[in-house]
Amino acid sequence: MPQISTGDFDDRVLGRTWTVRLDSAGRGSAAVRVSCSRPACPTERLPSAAAGRVAAVAHLKAHLKAASGPRAQAFCACKVENCQAHSLARRDDRPERGEPWRCGGPVVLAVVTDREGRWWRVMECCSRCAAATPGARTIGTAPPALRATAAATPADICVHPTAAAACAPQFSDPSSAGSSLTVPTARSVPRRPRPPRDRRIAGQVVPHSLRPVELRDELTELGDLYRAYQQRTEPDLAFLAGLHARKATAFTTWSALTDDPYLRREARRAEQAAQTARLQHQQRTHCTDSGEPAVIRVLTGPALWEHARTALEYCAGHCPLPGPEARLVVVLLTLRAAHSGTGNLVGQDLTGLGLSDPRGVVEQMADCGWLSLPARVESLLESRPENPTPVTIPSLLPDGEGPDPFRFGRTTRSKLSGWAQKAVTDKNLRKTKATASARLLALVLATRTSLEGRLGPSGEGLALEMLLPQTAIPAGELPGLLDQLTAADWLANSTVSSTRVTGRLTERALPFTCPLP
């Protein structure tokens, strides 16, 4: 057997190590920075953390592919960096405290990463140190011919390819002494099957034991589709609406099997999200899924529609004077002065509402303290758009004590105010000289329709016990007001029974509708 000098064994090299990091690119930005400890690797800037992790893992894989495998003559890189095992060895290197740490096993390449996915480190170390490092994963091991056994002396260890060939084990054939045979192939060991990995959707783990299997596969596929959609650079609202609809159906079935209230709430949220995405797609493309022209509404989404209904309900409960005329003025002024308590008015805002006595209504509101004017009522009614009159509603002034009665912001307030003003001053309502009561009724009916414009959530009509208190209209006047709206091409096929009013809004009125969920 060739003799190997001890100098060859002691001429070892430091194990290689390098780190890939993912850091924030700056405060207030979602961009991240990917850096590598290798000097030749430039820093990369990515728009999001997800893209940064993909780039960091790809960079690490490129290093591993370009680097040679672990070297048997290398000693642990972690020893230089004072890893946990070697640090404990120095503290415990006394007989009464136990044996000191000793490296052992073949040299391996190990990858270590933190739980948050902020850095990835590759180190060349012995297998014993890799096993003692939390979260380390071995990706390469030194070839068997270059390993050193525990019983061998330094002079017997093969560190060169020629010496390794000479040190290869030989087997004797009993039938022919002295002849050498090749080393038998190691018996393959079957890999232990890994347990199936749990998949997630909407923060919920889809258990592998979920039955039926079709439901489990549907939930798993939906989770993958949602994650793939998040990586898109351009939105596809029609596709997203389909995903939400499928999720609503799957979660409804899942909640029925498990009786989980969270899953039922998630199914309802998915239904609302599907409707919102579908309507947004129609607003962008101006056509429905069937290719027909879509209704372009003044208020473009379910959130705005719900805010409109909330504002009308608030005005119905906080009107200082009786009657539909005062109720209509309260609605318009409240939407004009919401949040700040102040707003600007011109004379046409009041004189164009079909009020029988605009001056008298405003004076009564000022006398009871609900409205505050900087000058006489006549000055308000004569003001022009170039010189509006500021008005104040004391009950809406922010005092910092009570909660804000409205949950929408300033931009939404402006949209709601413009929607109400356009609806009650519609061209046909002005031409037919519709009264203030008819205009208030038209505004309320527009917030209580289905998507097709029929009165009621599903087109079954509206209950009078809900409609009459919100409009302050006497029951006996309702048929005449419906006739006014029919003459103004606002309402069609309307009928009134003792408990319900039915009908549908015309195509002219559909842009002002706020469909019910």
Half-sphere exposure of residue 233, counting CA atoms within 13 Å on the CB side?
Answer: 2
Residues with Cβ within 8 Å of 78's Cβ and at least 6 positions away in sequence, in order, are 15, 17, 85, 86, 123, 125, 129, 133
| Rounded CA separation 264/258 (Å) | 10
User: Which tokens go with 266?
Assistant: 């998630």
DSSP letter (8 states) at residue 455: B
Q: What pLDDT, in 10s, does the model give residues 427-463?
A: 999 999 999 999 999 999 999 998 888 998 888 889 9
Q: Mean pLDDT throughout 327-332?
A: 93
At residue 390, what is the residue type? Answer: P
| Rounded CA separation 207/171 (Å) | 53
CA 287 to chain centre: 26
pLDDT recorded at residue 482: 92
pLDDT recorded at residue 61: 86
| Rounded CA separation 373/363 (Å) | 10
CA 357 to chain centre: 52
Q: Using 50, 70 and 90 to split pLDDT, how confident is the model at 423?
A: very high
| Top-confidence residue, 68 or 70 | 70
Q: What pLDDT, in 10s, does the model give residues 470-494?
A: 899 998 899 999 999 999 999 998 8
Note the maximum CA span of the chain. 128
Tell whether the model's pLDDT for residue 397 goes beyond 60: yes
Q: What pLDDT, in 10s, does the model give residues 147-188?
A: 444 333 333 333 334 333 333 333 333 333 443 434 445 455
Q: Please enumerate, as own/partner, the contacts of 200-204 that have beta carbons within 8 Å and a separation of 24 or more.
A: 201/226, 201/247, 202/247, 202/251, 202/266, 204/262, 204/263, 204/266
Please answer whether residues 266 and 254 qualify as being in contact, where contact means their C-beta atoms are separated by less than 8 angstroms: no
Tell whether the model's pLDDT for residue 39 goes beyond 90: no
Q: What pLDDT, in 10s, does the model give residues 118-151?
A: 888 888 888 888 888 888 888 888 876 444 443 3
Q: What pLDDT, in 10s, does the model give residues 344-384?
A: 989 888 888 889 988 999 999 999 999 998 888 888 888 88
Q: Which of 252, 201, 205 is nearest to 227 (CA)?
A: 201
Q: What is the CA radius of gyration of the chain?
A: 39
User: Which tokens go with 396?
Assistant: 């809406």
3-state SS, 102-129, equals: CCCCCEEEEEEECCCCCEEEEEEEEHHH
Q: What pLDDT, in 10s, does the model give residues 435-445?
A: 999 999 999 99
pLDDT recorded at residue 235: 84
